[in-house]
């Protein structure tokens, strides 16, 4: 695994040098990593700032894309060998059971409502808990200059693990709460292929069930007795709200700004996973540097995830335009593919400004998108963030423990899965 990992970075480095003028695409050099941790992190941040400002990073991407794609093919057999989800499967079902029992309140109707999204078959891949449990193992390092490895007794480790599991549960509760409230907001009739709770049971219950989950999450958070962690996750709730509000903003300038779109995407999607990754590190007593790397992994993985989501809304599983649900554009939400298309065809902006209540306008926008490199450039941007996420894991202090290495490998594999998924 480690050999592949090193090889992966060597290939990346070679790729980088072949990409003339490719600022922002930075992989850390293995030999200097240990001494340049903080500095490298600054570079990661800088590069992402550039992405956030909508600057184009890859001048010669088709070539890069195909090379990178080979890496993906190379890695896919490894992905099968240690499927990130199977690595924590037992713990995940334990966690799912605990979540289910946690939402059984005194008021059965409410429990039913809250459980609605947790029930089997609707839970999806349990993406967030998987990341957080893997991160827990990946950071299972001796706490520097505080506790030598031998003093990390079994009880202490078990207690730490159950606290980290609690973060995974809280994260899922916040996520489901935001889905419930989003469903009310968007008046969405379906979510994940099933009827949304509010169309089945009414807005009233969906708002209450979301509030209920948020309050349970707060109670669980308080039980961790770590006020920094409480702060982190309270801020996440604020970000989810801010993101949703930004999406509602109707000024043309903001709707057509890539920077605004990326900021909104961070708030709506990446803040939860990045801050909970950081919480995992803080509970483990890790250094600020390690906590920041955990945060950066989550942030870049979350951004990559959402960018691919935005592509799939246009393409669906078939990879051809117009086969997706087109739910974003039909709700007037402008995402990365359209924003990139607009850079090539400025006349698309007038179409966007007219809004998408008229289906003819949707068709017109799709025509421009088909002519443009919008979908491709969105995939490239997703890939860029996936690579930054992988680089954050590779920048963690070295560790020879087999379990730690397996989990780190799985976290890197997840970055591939996120950008190659087609549903």
The candidate with the shortest Cα–Cα distance to 87, out of 166, 3, 1, is: 1
Q: Which one of the spans 102-110, 286-294, 373-381, 414-422 is the region binding its own copies (CB under 8 A)?
A: 102-110
Kindly write down the DSSP assignment for every residue of 116-146, as one continuous string.
Answer: TTTSTTTSTT-HHHHHHHHHHHHT--PPTTT
> Residue 76 corresponds to which tokens in the numbers above?
């896919």
Q: Which one of the spans 24-32, 101-109, 333-341, 370-378 is the region binding its own copies (CB under 8 A)?
A: 101-109
Cβ atoms 409, 82 nearer than 8 A:
yes
Minimum Å distance from CB 187 to its own copies? 9
SS3 content of the chain, % helix, strand, coil (to 5): 75, 0, 25
What would you measure as the largest C-alpha separation in the chain, in angstroms? 68
Strand partners, 191: 194
Interface map 233-262 toward its own copies (x if CB under 8 A): xxx-xx-xxx-xxx-xx-------------
Cβ atoms 192, 122 nearer than 8 A:
yes
Strand partners, 194: 191
Number of residues that bind its own copies (CB under 8 A): 41
The candidate with the shortest Cα–Cα distance to 243, out of 296, 325, 190, 302, is: 302
- Site membership for its own copies, residue 214 (CB under 8 A): yes
The candidate with the shortest Cα–Cα distance to 196, out of 212, 182, 215, is: 182
Q: Which one of the spans 45-53, 104-112, 118-126, 160-168 is the region binding its own copies (CB under 8 A)?
A: 104-112
Cβ atoms 274, 302 nearer than 8 A:
yes
Minimum Å distance from CB 160 to its own copies? 18
Give residue 189's Cα distance to chain centre.
24
Cβ proximity to its own copies, 197 vs 342, nearer residue: 197
Question: Contact with its own copies (CB under 8 A): which of 43, 56, 89, 218?
Answer: 218
Cβ proximity to its own copies, 93 vs 101, nearer residue: 101
The candidate with the shortest Cα–Cα distance to 300, out of 392, 409, 421, 386, is: 386
Minimum Å distance from CB 179 to its own copies? 13
Question: Contact with its own copies (CB under 8 A): which of 22, 56, 160, 230?
Answer: 230
- Site membership for its own copies, residue 333 (CB under 8 A): no
- Site membership for its own copies, residue 283 (CB under 8 A): no
Interface map 184-213 toward its own copies (x if CB under 8 A): xx-----------------xxx-xx--xx-
Measured CA to CA, the distance from residue 138 to residue 284 in angstroms comes to 11
Q: Which one of the spans 31-39, 103-111, 133-141, 366-374 is the region binding its own copies (CB under 8 A)?
A: 103-111
Cβ atoms 410, 137 nearer than 8 A:
no
What are φ and ψ of residue 125, in 5° steps?
A: -85, 0
Strand partners, 190: 195
Minimum Å distance from CB 199 to its own copies? 14
Q: Which one of the spans 77-85, 216-224, 331-339, 356-364 is the region binding its own copies (CB under 8 A)?
A: 216-224
- Site membership for its own copies, residue 152 (CB under 8 A): no
- Site membership for its own copies, residue 105 (CB under 8 A): yes
Interface map 108-147 toward its own copies (x if CB under 8 A): -xx-------------------------------------
> Residue 329 corresponds to which tokens in the numbers above?
């554009």
Measured CA to CA, the distance from residue 297 to residue 94 in angstroms comes to 25
Cβ proximity to its own copies, 208 vs 262, nearer residue: 208
- Site membership for its own copies, residue 219 (CB under 8 A): yes
Cβ proximity to its own copies, 163 vs 216, nearer residue: 216
The candidate with the shortest Cα–Cα distance to 331, out of 242, 255, 232, is: 255
Q: Where on the chain is the footprint of its own copies (CB under 8 A)?
A: 105-107, 109-110, 181, 184-185, 203-205, 207-208, 211-212, 214-216, 218-219, 221-225, 227, 230-231, 233-235, 237-238, 240-242, 244-246, 248-249
């Amino acid at each position: 695994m480690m050999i592949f990992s090193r090889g992966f970075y060597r290939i990346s480095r070679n790729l980088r040098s072949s990409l003339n003028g490719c600022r922002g695409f930075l992989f850390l050099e293995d030999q200097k990593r240990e001494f340049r941790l903080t500095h490298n992190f600054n570079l990661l941040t800088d590069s992402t700032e550039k992405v956030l400002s909508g600057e184009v990073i890859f001048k010669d991407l088709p070539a890069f894309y195909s090379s990178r794609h080979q890496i993906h093919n190379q890695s896919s057999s490894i992905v099968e060998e240690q499927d990130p989800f199977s690595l924590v499967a037992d713990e995940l079902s334990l966690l799912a059971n605990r979540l289910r029992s946690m939402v059984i309140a005194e008021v059965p109707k409410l429990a039913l409502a809250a459980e609605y999204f947790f029930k089997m078959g609707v839970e999806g891949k349990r993406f967030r808990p998987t990341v957080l449990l893997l991160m827990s193992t990946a950071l299972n390092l001796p706490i520097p200059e505080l506790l030598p490895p031998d003093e990390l007794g079994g009880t202490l480790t078990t207690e730490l693990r159950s606290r980290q599991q609690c973060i995974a549960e809280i994260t899922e509760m916040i996520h489901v709460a935001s889905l419930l409230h989003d469903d009310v907001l968007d008046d969405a009739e379906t979510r994940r292929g099933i009827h949304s709770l509010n169309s089945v049971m009414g807005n009233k219950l969906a708002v209450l069930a979301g509030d209920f989950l948020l309050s349970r999450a707060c109670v669980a958070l308080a039980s961790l007795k770590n006020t920094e962690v409480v702060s982190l996750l309270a801020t996440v709730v604020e970000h989810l709200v801010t993101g949703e509000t930004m999406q509602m903003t109707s000024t043309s300038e903001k709707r057509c700004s890539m920077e605004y779109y990326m900021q909104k995407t961070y708030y709506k999607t990446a803040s939860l996973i990045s801050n909970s990754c950081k919480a995992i590190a803080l509970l483990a007593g890790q250094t600020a540097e390690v906590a920041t790397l955990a945060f950066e992994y989550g942030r870049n993985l979350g951004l990559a995830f959402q960018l691919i989501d935005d592509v799939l809304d246009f393409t669906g599983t078939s990879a051809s335009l117009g086969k997706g649900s087109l739910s974003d554009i039909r709700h007037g939400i402008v995402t990365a593919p359209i924003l990139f298309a607009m850079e090539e065809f400025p006349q698309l902006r007038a179409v966007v400004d007219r809004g998408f209540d008229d289906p003819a306008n949707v068709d017109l926008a799709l025509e421009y998108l088909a002519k443009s490199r919008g979908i491709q450039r969105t995939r490239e941007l997703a890939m860029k963030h996936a690579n930054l996420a992988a680089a954050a894991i590779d920048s963690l202090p070295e560790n020879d423990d087999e379990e730690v290495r397996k989990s780190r490998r799985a976290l890197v594999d997840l970055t591939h899965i996120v950008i190659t998924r087609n549903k």
